[in-house]
Amino acid sequence: MDKNKSVESYLYASDKRRVVELVMKMGGMVEAALGDSMNAFITEDETLAEKVMTGDDEVNEMENEIDIECLRSIAMRQPVRDELRFIFAVLKTITDLERIGDEAVNIARRVIDLRKDHWTEASSTLIGMMGIAGTMLRDAMEAFRASDGSMCVEICRRDEQLDKNYSHVFDEFIDLIASFEKKDTQKIRAITNQMLIARHLERIGDHVQNIAERVYFMDKGQLLPSEFNTNHSRVYDRNRSGDLN
């Protein structure tokens, strides 16, 4: 019996290594898409924006591949406790990665719209939001790779800063729109599209925080302390999360 358990543990460890590799590959694809969408905005590069849009299918295919790997592991290995927490974290993480990819595509679409309207100079606050969102995603993926819940608190704190920047830039853009005349339709559309980009970045922050919370749960076996959770849409049901402890 002990020998069987040892073999099963070895086989599961092999499954886990492959799943981690796949999730990191998907994370790298999403990071690249987000980086390209932000660079397309900064450099006004419509070709780069179109590249982001056409590459989204690959992210979706990777999500499906990881889903299958996790289901196969459940069916063949019958994972328990720590193993179940890992699989749970993976399935939720890839959902958030796919949605971050969607937000990168949304930003790319806004870039193309902005090119049509000859947008004005971008807000420095908006550029700062891009930096925060990109760093958060990179650090969340490293926390996942290392199964390091201690990194997750700082990631969630940065989401709070991203939210503050979003509020600031929203007010900034509202004031700009109010200063325009009704005939300035191109300027109004350009500012509106930048407001939407800010919203996409704020949503990316929420998805990254979700990933950080799941990594913390995977590593520690408990929820991230509420004082570090700035996302009002809770990732876990407190009454049920203990099932995987």
Predicted confidence (pLDDT) per residue in 148-161, tens digit: 999 999 999 999 99
Rounded to two decimals, the pTM is 0.86
pLDDT value at residue 76:
75
Q: How many domains does the chain have?
A: 1
Q: Are 110 and 197 contacting, i.e. CB atoms less than 8 angstroms apart?
A: yes
Residue 180: pLDDT band with limits 50, 70, 90: confident
Q: What percent of the chain has pLDDT over 70?
A: 84
Instruction: Tell me whether residue 7 is in a domain.
Output: yes
HSE-up of 220 (CA within 13 Å, CB side)? 18
Residue 11: which CATH number?
Answer: 1.20.58.220
Q: Which two tokens stand for residue 86?
A: 């890992």
Residue 219 lies in a domain: yes
Cα(154)–Cα(161) distance, integer angstroms: 11
**Continuous H helices in the chain:** 2-43, 46-54, 56-77, 82-117, 124-146, 152-179, 185-220
Question: Quick one: tokens of 232?
Answer: 């009002």
Which two three-digit tokens encode residue 160?
């709070």
Residue 245 is assigned to a structural domain of this protein: no
**pLDDT score at 30:** 98
* Residue 234 confidence class, pLDDT cut points 50, 70, 90: very low
Q: What is the DSSP code string of 215-243? A: HHHHHHSSPPPGGG---SS-SS-TTTGGG
Confirm whether 73 is domain-assigned: yes
> What residue numbers bound the domain in which 77 lies?
2-239
Q: Contact 155/170 with Cβ under 8 angstroms?
A: no
> Residue 134, Cβ neighbours under 10 Å: how many?
17
Higher-confidence position of 221 and 164: 164
More confidently predicted of 82 and 141:
141
Confidence category of residue 238, pLDDT binned at 50, 70, 90: very low
Within a domain: residue 112?
A: yes
Buried b (16+ CB within 10 A) or exposed e, 83-118: bbbbbbbbbbbbbbbbbbbbbbbbbbbbbebbeebe
Where is average pLDDT lowest: 127-131, 197-201, 225-229? Answer: 225-229
Burial of 8 (0-12, 13-18, 19+ CB in 10 A): middle
Residue 238: phi and psi, rounded to 5, are -55, -30
pLDDT for 123 equals: 81
Look at residue 138 in the predicted model and tell me its pLDDT. 97
pLDDT 10s digits, 83-116? 888 999 999 999 999 999 999 999 999 999 988 7
- The pLDDT, as a whole number, for residue 187 is 84
**Choice among 45-49, 74-78, 121-125, 153-157 with the minimum mean pLDDT:** 74-78
CA distance readout (Å), 68 to 30, 55, 112: 19, 21, 35
Residue 47's contacts (CB-CB under 8 Å, 6 or more residues apart) are none
> What per-residue confidence (pLDDT) applies to 90?
95
Residue 36 has pLDDT above 50, yes or no: yes
Q: Which range is least confidently modeled, 73-82, 139-148, 225-234? A: 225-234
Give the C-alpha distances (Å, rounded to integers) separating 150 from 49, 65, 212, 232: 35, 29, 10, 21
In a domain, 90, yes or no: yes
- Candidate from 6-20, 56-70, 153-167 with smallest mean pLDDT: 6-20
Is residue 101, in this structure, part of any structural domain at all?
Answer: yes
What pLDDT shows up at residue 203?
97
Q: Is residue 105 part of a domain?
A: yes
- Residue 69 structure tokens: 């790997």
pLDDT greater at residue 136 or residue 83: 136
